[in-house]
Amino acid sequence: MNSLTVSYLQLNLVWENSRANLMQIEKQLSLLDRSVDLVVLPEMFNSGFSMNSSQLAQSMDGELVKTMTNFAKEFDFAITGSFICQEGGNFFNRLLFVFPDGQIEKYDKRHLFRMANETDYFSPGNKRLIVNYKGWKILPLVCYDLRFPVWSRNQFKVIGNRVNSEYDLLIYVANWPAARVTAWDKLLLARAIENQVYVIGVNRTGIDGKGIEYNGRSTAIDPKGDYLKAPSSEVVIESVILRKDALEDFRMKFPVGMDADSFQVITSH
């Protein structure tokens, strides 16, 4: 598929209230055009960024995952976002990528935000997920991962006079506070430019149960570092059409992958 239509939901999440959040998500999803291919939700979309893992966690067999699967099937598009998952006695900030047919792929947040004590309540992931969906290769990551460019790095493979890229679209789902939103804005632009990919960053808005303010700034950026959708601070649904031919044309005309460094990421745990 040459084009990919992506919608993202910038929400004012209700603190630790899964039912209320899922109700507002369902309402927003029902407003979307059926031409949408992928919907992106914020980090911990059903609870807000809570460390109350023992009370809020759900299993992969729980109602939340079933609800996400039902949404994907009912509306016939893929859905991604993260929630608090309990598995094998551990808690994870787990991102799910749910396909329209109900298939699920998962990624556990690698970089836990120690300044909010996330490291005390959750276990880190140790493996990236690259999703193949409708001819697009997608790398979904979570919030604090944005600050670590090596983890986000596109790997380039030179074959003759062509460069094959590991992925085409980089997604960050987040609960990124207003106090540090300048970093959010600038790092999203940098990740698009350095990796020659589309970037979509989805944040929340409002004030959470700990009194932390969020001002959204969700956005879509092209491989040149230009905004496809300008950031905003309101509760909003945005949709953008990404074009594979434009991406490949830019990569051919400006093949930075020819000169990229090869490396391997070794996780310590």
**Structure confidence at residue 16 (pLDDT):** 99
CB neighbours of residue 232 within 10 Å = 15
Q: What is the pLDDT of residue 1?
A: 77
| Assigned domain for 54 exists | yes
Quickly tell me which residue has 């999440």 as its tokens: 13
pLDDT score at 32: 97
Distance CA 10, CA 216 (A): 7
With respect to residue 268, please indicate whether it lies within any of the assigned structural domains. no
Query: Is 249 contained in some domain?
Result: yes
pLDDT value for 159: 86
Tokens of 177: 């506070």
Positions of the chain with pLDDT lower than 70, given as ranges: 268-269
Beta strands 169-173 and 198-202: pairing type? parallel
Backbone dihedral angles phi then psi of residue 65, each to the nearest 5 degrees: -65, -40
- Residue at 264 is within a domain: no
By 3-state DSSP, what share of the chain in percent is helix, strand and coil, each rounded to 5? 30, 35, 40
Q: Please, which residues have CB within 8 angstroms of residue 207's CB and are 6 or more apart in sequence?
A: 213, 214
Q: Is residue 265 part of a domain?
A: no
> Residue 192: phi, psi to the nearest 5?
-65, -45
**Which CATH number fits the domain that encloses residue 141?**
3.60.110.10
Position 263 scores a pLDDT of 83
| Total number of domains constituting the chain | 1
How far, in Å, CA of 206 to CA of 221, rounded?
23
Q: Does residue 228 form part of some domain?
A: yes
Specify if 266 maps to a domain: no
Query: Can you give the pLDDT at residue 265?
Result: 84
Q: Are 168 and 154 in contact (CB under 8 A)?
A: no
Indicate the pTM of the whole model. Answer: 0.97
pLDDT at res. 154: 97
Residue 69 lies in a domain: yes
By annotation, the residues acting in catalysis are: 43, 109, 143
pLDDT at residue number 269: 61
| Segments forming the whole domain that contains residue 234 | 3-259
Distance CA 260, CA 110 (A): 24
Quick one: DSSP state of residue 69?
Answer: H
**Backbone torsion region of residue 23, taken as left when φ is above 0, otherwise alpha when ψ lies between -120 and 50, otherwise beta:** alpha
